Amino acid sequence: SVSQLGDGSKEYPLRVGMTCLRLVRDYVSVRNRSDCTTMFHLDSTHSMVINGYLVFAFGYSDRGGYFYLLAYFCTSQKCAVDIGWCIRCIKRVCMDVCGVEFTPQFVMMDADKAQFNACTTELQLSTVLMCWFHVLQNVWESANEKGVGIDDIRTIFAEMHDMHYA
d(CA 34, CA 10): 43
pLDDT digits (tens, 9 = 90+) for 130-162: 888 878 888 999 999 999 999 999 999 999 888
Are 71 and 27 spatial neighbours (Cβ–Cβ below 8 Å)? no
Query: pTM score, two decimals?
Result: 0.80
Q: Tell me, what amino acid is at 42?
A: L
Is it the case that residue 65 has pLDDT exceeding 80?
no
**Residue-level pLDDT at 101:** 93
More confident residue, 8 or 2: 8
Answer whether residue 49 shows pLDDT above 60. Answer: no
